[in-house]
Amino acid sequence: MATEEKVADHLLTDLHVKYIQSLDHRKEDLEYWLTEHLRVSGLYWGLTALDLMHHRDALPRQEVIDYVVSLQREDGGFGGHLHHDSHLLYTLSSIQILITLDAINAIDIDKVITYIANRQNTDGSFTGDVWGEVDSRFSFVAVAALSLLKRLDAIDIPKAVEWILQCKNYDGGFGNRPGSESHAGQAYCCLGFLAIVDGLHYVDTDLMAWWLCERQLKNGGLNGRPEKLEDVCYSWWVLSSLSILGRVSWIDKEKLISFILSAQDPDLGGIADRPGDMVDVFHTVFGVAGLSLLGYEGLKRVDPVYCMSAEVIERIGLEPKYSL
Ligand SMILES: CN(C(=O)[C@H](Cc1cnc[nH]1)NC(=O)OCc1ccccc1)[C@@H](Cc1ccccc1)C(=O)N[C@@H](Cc1c[nH]c2ccccc12)C(=O)NO
Ligand SMILES: [Zn+2]
C-alpha cells in the first residue's frame, strides 16, 4: 500500500540542527567527496541555517575558525577546501563564516582585500578567479565581501555599476553577462550589488517585481525562470530580491511557507529542492532563510542582501535592508 507521505506543518528545527551537525561525519557518502570543492560554502550554509534557528553554537566554534583560517592562500584569497586554488566565491563564504563567529581578525585582512581588488577588469566586471570567468555573480560577491570588511574603497565602484547595468534585460530581469537571459539567481546578485552600492534607483522596481512574482506557481513554490519547476532555493533568490525591492506582499506568503515546509525530510531532517527529493545543506539554508523573510516565527530575521542574520549585520555596523 502507498506509504503515507508524512508532511510537517511546522519547521522541524531540532531535526535540522542534528542533520547539519551530522554533515562533517558522512565520510562514507560519495556526496561528501563530490562536494569537496565547495566545502567552505557548505560550512557557510550550515552555520547560517543554525544561526537563523538560534543554534549557532551547535558547531564547534574554534574548529570552524581554524579550518577557515587554514584556507587562506599566498594570494590572499580562499579555496573551497585545503590546497584548492583561491576563488572569489569561497573567499566570500570564508568571510561570512568568520564574521558570523565574530572572528574576522583571525585572517590577513589586507591580503584578502588585495585578492578581491585584483579580480576587477578595466571594464568594471569581475572574474571569479585567475582563470578569468566573468559573471555578474562575481560583481556581487566582490562588493558583498568588501562591504562586510568596510573596504568598498578598494575597487572602482562607478565602473562596476556601469558594467552591472549592461546585464539588465527588457523583461526587468538580469543575466549573468550583458545580453544573457534573465535568471532569478542573477536578479538576486544584481539587486544585492545595487543595494550595497546604493544604486537601486537604476532599477525599474515594479517591472522587476512583476517578473519576480511571476515565478510563483499554483503549488506555492517559486521557479528561477519561466516554464521551470518550483525549487526551494528560489524561495531565497526570488524572495530576497522582492524583499530588497519592498515587494514581498506581491506573492502568496502562506502558500510559499507550506511549500517550503513540505520539502523537509520528516525523519532525518534537512530540506530538499522540492517534496520527496534528497535533502542537502544548500536547500536547507535557503529554505530556512526564505521562511525568515516570510516572517516565520521562531527564526532570527535574515538580511536579504548578505544571507546572514540581521543581528550579525547590525553588530558590524551595516544597517539591515530587510522589509517584509
Ligand atoms: C553551484 N550551485 C548551483 O549551481 C546551484 C544548483 C541548483 C540548485 N538548485 C537548482 N540548481 N544553482 C544555483 O545556485 O543557482 C542560483 C544562482 C545562480 C546564479 C547566481 C546566483 C545564484 C550551488 C551548489 C549546488 C550545486 C548542485 C546542487 C545544489 C547546490 C551553489 O554553490 N550556488 C552558489 C550560487 C552562487 C554562485 N555565485 C553566487 C553569488 C552570490 C550568491 C550565490 C551564488 C551559492 O549559493 N553560493 O553561496
Ligand atoms: Zn535549488
Where do the structural domains in the chain lie, given as residue ranges? 13-316
Over residues 143-157, the mean pLDDT reads 98
Segment (H or E) for 190:
helix 184-196
- Please report which confidence band the pLDDT of residue 267 belongs to, taking 50, 70 and 90 as the band edges: very high
Q: Kindly tell me if the per-residue pLDDT of 252 is higher than 90.
A: yes
Burial class (CB in 10 A: 0-12, 13-18, 19+), 246: middle
Closest ligand 1 atom to residue 233 Cα is 9
Q: Is 231 in the pocket of ligand 1 (CB under 6 A)?
A: yes
Q: Kindly tell me if the per-residue pLDDT of 87 is higher than 90.
A: yes
Q: How far apart are CA 122 and CA 100, in angstroms?
A: 33
Mutate to test the pocket of ligand 1, among 164, 233, 274, 279 (most ligand atoms within 8 A of CB): 233
Q: Who has greater pLDDT, 28 or 120?
A: 120
Spacing, Cα 2 to ligand 1 middle (Å) = 34
DSSP 280: E
Q: Is there a contact between 80 and 90 (Cβ–Cβ < 8 Å)?
A: yes
pLDDT tens, 302-322?
A: 999 999 999 999 999 997 665
pLDDT tens, 26-49?
A: 888 888 888 888 999 999 999 999
Q: What residue's CA is closest to ligand 1, atom 9? A: 233
Q: Is there a contact between 252 and 226 (Cβ–Cβ < 8 Å)?
A: no
Closest ligand 1 atom to residue 192 Cα is 41
Q: How many residues does the chain have?
A: 324
Q: Residue 160: count other Cβ atoms within 10 Å of its Cβ.
A: 23
Q: Is 279 in the pocket of ligand 1 (CB under 6 A)?
A: no
- What pLDDT does residue 1 have? 46
Over residues 269-290, the mean pLDDT reads 97
118-126, long-range: CB < 8 A, 24+ apart: 118/75, 119/88, 120/155, 120/156, 120/159, 120/160, 122/159, 123/159, 123/163, 124/156, 124/158, 124/159, 124/160, 124/161, 124/162, 124/163, 124/164, 125/160, 125/163, 126/88, 126/160
Percent of the chain, pLDDT > 70? 97
Mutate to test the pocket of ligand 1, among 96, 174, 181, 282 (most ligand atoms within 8 A of CB): 282
Q: Is there a contact between 259 and 220 (Cβ–Cβ < 8 Å)?
A: yes
- Please report which confidence band the pLDDT of residue 178 belongs to, taking 50, 70 and 90 as the band edges: very high
- Please report which confidence band the pLDDT of residue 166 belongs to, taking 50, 70 and 90 as the band edges: very high
Q: What residue's CA is closest to ligand 1, atom 36? A: 137
Q: Residue 189: count other Cβ atoms within 10 Å of its Cβ.
A: 26
13-316 carries CATH number 1.50.10.20: yes
- What pLDDT does residue 29 have? 83
Sign of CA dihedral 110, 114, 310, 9: negative
Nearest ligand atom owner, CA of 222: 2
Burial 190-206 (b: 16+ CB within 10 A, else e): bbbbbbbbebbeebeee
Grid cell of 174 as nine digits: 538580469
Over residues 287-298, the mean pLDDT reads 97
Q: Is 41 in the pocket of ligand 1 (CB under 6 A)?
A: yes
Q: Is 190 in the pocket of ligand 1 (CB under 6 A)?
A: no
Spacing, Cα 292 to ligand 1 middle (Å) = 19
Q: What residue's CA is closest to ligand 1, atom 2? A: 282
Q: How far apart are CA 64 and CA 82, in angstroms?
A: 13
Q: How far apart are CA 44 and CA 90, in angstroms?
A: 9
- Please report which confidence band the pLDDT of residue 4 belongs to, taking 50, 70 and 90 as the band edges: low
Q: Kindly tell me if the per-residue pLDDT of 102 is higher than 90.
A: yes
